[in-house]
Amino acid sequence: MSDTTRLSLLEAARVVARRDFRAILFSRAFFFFLLGPLFPLVIGGLAGGIGGQVQREAVTNMVALSMSAEDNAAMQAARDTLAPQLGYVLPQFIPDTSGEPPAQVLKRDRASFAAVVSGTIEAPVVTAPESQIERWSGPVGLIAATARGSSPNTFPAVAADPVATSTAEARTDRIRTAQAGQLLLFLLMMLLAGMVLSNLVEEKANKVIEVLAAAIPMDAVFLGKLFAMLGVSFVGIAVWATFGGAAALLLGNQLPQLPEPALGWSAFIALGIAYFAMGYLLLGSLFLTIGGMAATVREVQTLSMPVTMMQLLVFFLAASSITRPGSPLELTAAIFPLSSPFAMLARAAQSDAIWPHLLALGWQAVCVILFIRFGALLFKRRVMKSGKAGRAGKERIGATKIA
């Protein structure tokens, strides 16, 4: 094929994607592949223990002290006295001298207080949602009694000032949505990304990949295969979502209800689809590189194991950073390409800012291009031996033999 008739990169990638998409979608093996989610559901149930641990950490024990300066100091000293015996049962007091009403203090985005203690040592008042009032009334009464030097059996009456919700409670609820989104994204990626690996190994064994590489750029082969597998993955997700929606209609209110994410369900689902696509392309490009370097199925299993373990590690990195938004750990998870989709999806559940997602998606797209270029270059140099000098040498050898 001459250079004037050679397909462009995108056209060649489209041809490869269409070929692979049809070959996989209309195969009998794809039907059995759709049964695959039964096994991740079991794994998801086992992973609930980890989610419970994160949820317990998400419940903040920070309580604002809005008393006078003397009463604040006395309450803090009493709390420090009781801490060695009671530990985590006691609140972590943060003095507040803003003079704002307790209900306004609870609405601060950055503070994330579970409750506000105001009034005096003789008559403390706890302002919080009902659940938090029940949680903190006893410890606050004990601390106030200790602060005023009362006998062990004498406690002040703690007044309740309930509010509808607080920033801390809303944040805690949204963490559940962030956890669910991360876990679903991880299970789908691990379940579907393996198709890329097996497809390339099969075509290497059949010498099909050599024919494709001789006709079109290797970058186009990798790009086409990735988008073909991504399209097949979306078909599988659509089938599973249909059955999941039918089950949800049948079960109704028996299913657990997730709190609405900060960006709303529509934007959260749209970002979830985008982050799945980027995460799949990132992981798939690594699997393509591994499949290109491996000569046998055994080598594939050996080489893919480190990538799988690394994916587990980056998932745990993103999962552990849910309760620390804005921390160095969370920023690291958001910047590192393989963990970025998980961390950013969790941020979509907790923050209503849009611009970080646009920046993250752009960064992930750049990483996809770099991964594909690196994988294609490594495949040509290590497997195809298709440099210009090598190709010219092969042509000269062939011409000599014909002569």
Contact call for residues 205 and 196 (beta carbons, < 8 A): no
Return the structure tokens found at 126. 């706890």
Other Cβ atoms closer than 10 A to 89: 13
Highest mean pLDDT among 107-116, 192-201, 272-281: 272-281
Highest mean pLDDT among 22-31, 374-383, 390-399: 374-383
Give the Å distances, CA to CA, from 165 to 48, 103, 294, 306.
26, 9, 56, 45
Q: What is the DSSP string of 272-328?
A: HHHHHHHHHHHHHHHHHHHHHH-SSHHHHHHHHHHHHHHHHHHHHHHHHTTTSTTSH
What's the half-sphere exposure (Cβ side, CA atoms, 13 Å) at 254? 6
Confidence of residue 399 (pLDDT cuts 50, 70, 90): very low
Task: Inform me whether the pLDDT recorded for 352 exceeds 70.
Answer: yes
Confidence of residue 394 (pLDDT cuts 50, 70, 90): very low
Average pLDDT for 237-265: 75
Q: How far is CA 174 from the centre of its chain?
A: 14
What's the half-sphere exposure (Cβ side, CA atoms, 13 Å) at 208? 12
Tell me, what's the pLDDT at 310? 78
Task: Inform me whether the pLDDT recorded for 49 exceeds 50.
Answer: no
The phi-psi region of residue 357 (left if phi > 0; otherwise alpha if psi is between -120 and 50; otherwise beta) is alpha
Tell me, what's the pLDDT at 40? 57
Query: Which range (24-28, 226-230, 366-370) has the least confidence?
Result: 24-28
Task: Inform me whether the pLDDT recorded for 383 exceeds 80.
Answer: no
Tell me, what's the pLDDT at 385? 57
Confidence of residue 305 (pLDDT cuts 50, 70, 90): confident
Rounded Cα–Cα distance for residues 156 and 146 (Å) = 10
Rounded Cα–Cα distance for residues 224 and 7 (Å) = 13
Tell me, what's the pLDDT at 158? 66
Tell me, what's the pLDDT at 255? 59
Enumerate residues 6+ apart whose C-beta is below 8 A from 297: 201
Contact call for residues 286 and 192 (beta carbons, < 8 A): no
Give the Å distances, CA to CA, from 104 to 47, 96, 101, 336.
38, 12, 5, 37
Tell me, what's the pLDDT at 400? 38
Average pLDDT for 335-355: 88
pLDDT above 90 covers what percent of the chain? Answer: 5
Which of the pair, 129 or 279, is modelled with greater confidence?
279
List, for residues 148-170, the tens digit of each pLDDT value. 776 555 666 666 666 545 555 55
Average pLDDT, the chain: 74
Rounded Cα–Cα distance for residues 11 and 398 (Å) = 30
Task: Inform me whether the pLDDT recorded for 179 exceeds 80.
Answer: yes
Contact call for residues 54 and 319 (beta carbons, < 8 A): yes
Task: Inform me whether the pLDDT recorded for 382 exceeds 80.
Answer: no
pTM, two decimals, is 0.61
Enumerate residues 6+ apart whose C-beta is below 8 A from 370: none
Which of the pair, 214 or 267, is modelled with greater confidence?
267
The burial of 114, by beta-carbon neighbours within 10 Å (0-12 exposed, 13-18 middle, 19 or more buried), is given as: buried
Contact call for residues 307 and 398 (beta carbons, < 8 A): no
Tell me, what's the pLDDT at 114? 77
Task: Inform me whether the pLDDT recorded for 403 exceeds 50.
Answer: no
126 - beta bridge partners?
A: 117, 160
Rounded Cα–Cα distance for residues 259 and 175 (Å) = 9
Q: At what angle do helices 9-25 and 194-205 cross, to 10 degrees?
A: 100
Which of the pair, 306 or 370, is modelled with greater confidence?
370
Task: Inform me whether the pLDDT recorded for 360 exceeds 80.
Answer: yes
Confidence of residue 395 (pLDDT cuts 50, 70, 90): very low
Confidence of residue 376 (pLDDT cuts 50, 70, 90): confident
Tell me, what's the pLDDT at 396? 40
